[in-house]
Structure 1
Amino acid sequence: MQRKLTLNDGNVIPQFGLGLYQLPEGTETQNIVKTALELGYRHLDTSHAYQNETSVGQAIQDSEISNSEIWITSKLWPSDYEQAPEAIERMLKRLKVKQIDLLLLHQQVGNYRKAWIALENAVKEGKVKSIGISNFDGERLVDLFNFADIKPSVIQVETHPYHQQVELQEFLKPYGTKIESWYPLGHGDKNLLEEKIFKKMAKKYNKTVAQIILRWHIQEGIIVFPRSTQKEHLAENINIFDFELSCSEIKEIRKLNKKQPYFTMTYEEQEKNFLSWKLED
């Protein structure tokens, strides 16, 4: 039975889900979502930038599972920030829902303050349940938290055993904001996946190294949604709730922290790349 976490706004989110990054619009994504739902997935993480929201929404509509049982996370791209209210309306139509469970600001460039006000208003209007941010750090992270009337429920950032976001966790504690992980398996880094400690634990629990790392995320209170397109891997990824790492094993994994992100784009590079990217509806 997979876990759920209570956010700082009182809403309850499935801690484990499916990431839909780089999955194309169309039947392929619909089939992947259908399979995931059949396997017990109840959290789907998409985005306007992924350009597959319509397929995600259709797959949910086609399933026999009530919309109320499925948590949908999506994200506004910076090109949406200036007209965020209208962008939210279009997102609701693409996803074929009356309310988005969690809506994030995808990047820390553009008029994120104006967009955040729109997210807060969407919560008050019942169009969005919870709101948060993605890929914010440094001065822009602090500015957003100081500015916001409704503090972010989650922040989605690169998190894995080589980059455990310890300082960020300390910053978030007073707000009760949860971390969501992307690159949960370290961007497939061979060095990480071949760490002796993971191989030892995998043998002990009769699990794969990936399952050990995903279980570590769960026990650290991190929301995680690995991406997969194969039924075998989808089933394997979610099969992490029948064992538990010991306190000493968690401590050993914490020692692997190198504060080593794989994404290292500067503010200036983010502004140059992200603000010029216009998306189709």
Structure 2
Amino acid sequence: MLPIILCLVTLNLVNCEQQETTPLPTHQFPCGRIIPAIGMGTYGWGTEMRAFNSFVSAIDNGYRVFDTASIYDNKMALGLAIRQQIQAKKVIRKDLFVISKVWNTFHQREDVITNIKKDLRDLGLEFLDAGLLHYPTSFLPNSGLMPKYDNGTFIPMYWDKDRGYLEAYRGLEAAFMLGLIGHIGVSNVNEHQIRKIFDIAFVRPVILEIECNPFYRNEKLFQFGLANNMTVFCYAPLRSGKADLEHNQVLKDIATKHKHSVQQVTLRWNMQRGAVVIPRSHDKNHQLENLKSLDLALDDADMAQINNITQLPKVMDIKGIQSHPDYPFGKENE
């Protein structure tokens, strides 16, 4: 049976309605759903009250895409902010695109569905616009969120390569069929793992969420995603605040040329590559500053210079996961 690339409109009609017109650069999914090219990452937002206020200001400032995960502890704050802003008529639900990611200890098929239902309860929402696998590295279930051996390495659900995340993907497909999620995606995977998913998929993934910034372009995987009709979401697009971004002379020169900040140039570079960027920002002013990346256009020379910046190791990884049979970030996958 050939895999379905389009969303199932009969099951997820509300999820596939197009948004109202937006001035932001956009991406369109196969079902016709349109989202802005810049959203908001929500990892590590601190206390519930701080997170709530940040989410409220983000919606006020025009953000419509929010990326969370089952392991993040701010979903209730995000859901409360969304419901308050809807009630205040600042936004309507169909203009929001809310993503959550299934954690590694919930990779058994039924556990995936249970995990997504819990996320929906925490958020106070009826459906997720997208459900993703957070990592392909399945952990031993029913042993806490971080099951480890005494040496600090994680305990796999299976030692068989490719088995756990493929089982989890079946769970995402089941959640899709139940109308719990409107789109399916994967995160922190490599090309081999995506191909294995393509081989078994009834509903193909349409989102690829990976780390990418000028110092870790992830070019091969990035282009593989685009070539296979996947919308590429870039997390850590500002390198999680690392100083090497701010001090890079190439980025500084381009920023001076365009009278914008290094951060704005960096976000715009990724968007012009074809990405949806999801920077994190608690501060209302920083949220607005990031949106100013939409006010500039980099020329071919700018893009070429940024594409030639010397590459550095990725920023985001999990200590103790490197020995997992499905660890996705080995040198052979670069």
Identical pairs, percent: 26
The answer on 1:102 being equivalent to 2:130 is yes
Give the one of 38, 41, 52 matched to 2:60.
Answer: 38
- Which runs of no fewer than 5 residues in structure 1 stay unpaired? 275-281
1:138 Cα deviation from its structure 2 partner: 5.1
- State the shift of 1:7 in Å: 2.5
How many Å apart are 1:271 and its aligned residue? 4.0
Q: Aligned to 1:129, what secondary structure does the other structure show?
A: coil
Structure 1 position 173, deviation (Å): 4.0
Residue type of the alignment partner of 2:287:
L
Residues 79 and 129 of structure 1, relative CA distance in 2, 3 Å threshold:
same
In our comparison, the structure showing a higher alpha carbon Rg is 2
Deviates more, 1:175-184 or 1:212-221: 175-184
Aligned to 1:192: 245
Equivalent residues in 2 for 1:160-179 (5 A)? Answer: 160-179=213-232
The match for 1:90 is: 118
Which piece of structure 1 moves more, 244-253 or 145-154?
145-154
- After TM superposition, the score normalised by the length of structure 2 is 0.76
CA separation in 1, counterparts of 2:224 and 2:218? 10
Give unpaired runs (5+ residues) of structure 2.
1-22, 139-163, 328-334
Question: How many residues are treated as equivalent by the alignment?
Answer: 273
Give SS of 1:132's match.
strand
Which deviates further from its counterpart, 202-211 or 168-177?
168-177
Q: SS where residue 157 of structure 1 aligns?
A: strand
Task: State how far apart, in whole Å, the 1-side matches of 2:258 and 2:221 are.
Answer: 31
CA distance in 2, matches of 1:195, 1:7: 35
TM-score (norm 1): 0.89
Between Structure 1 and Structure 2, the one with more helix by share is 1
Alpha-carbon distance in 2 for matches of 1:174, 1:198 = 28
Q: Does 1:24 align with 2:46?
A: yes
Match of 2:97 among 71, 81, 85: 71
8 A contact 2:127–2:179 mirrored in 1? yes
Supply the distance in 1 between the matched residues of 2:94 and 2:226 (Cα, whole angstroms): 29
SS in 2 for 1:241: helix
Tell me the C-alpha RMSD between the 2 structures.
2.2
**205-214 or 16-25, which moves further after superposition?**
16-25
- In the TM superposition, what are the counterparts of 1:125-140 in structure 2 within 5 Å? 125-137=178-190, 139-140=192-193
Read off the aligned partner of 2:251 and give its amino acid letter: F
- The question of 1:215 aligning with 2:268 is answered yes
State how far apart, in whole Å, the 2-side matches of 1:48 and 1:263 are.
17
How far does residue 13 in structure 1 lie from its aligned partner after superposition?
2.4
Tell me if structure 1 keeps the 8 A contact 2:245–2:262.
no
Q: Is the 8 A contact 1:11 1:130 kept in 2?
A: no
The one-letter amino acid of 1:72's match is V
Equivalent-residue separation in structure 2 for 1:117 and 1:213 (angstroms) = 36
Distance between the aligned counterparts of 2:241 and 2:188, measured in 1?
A: 20
Change in 2 beyond 3 A, CA 1:266/1:31: closer
The answer (yes or no) to whether the contact 2:70–2:115 under 8 Å persists in 1 is no
SS in 2 for 1:49: coil
Amino acid corresponding to residue 70 of structure 1 in structure 2: L
SS at match of 1:13: strand
Alignment partner of 1:182 out of 232, 235, 252: 235
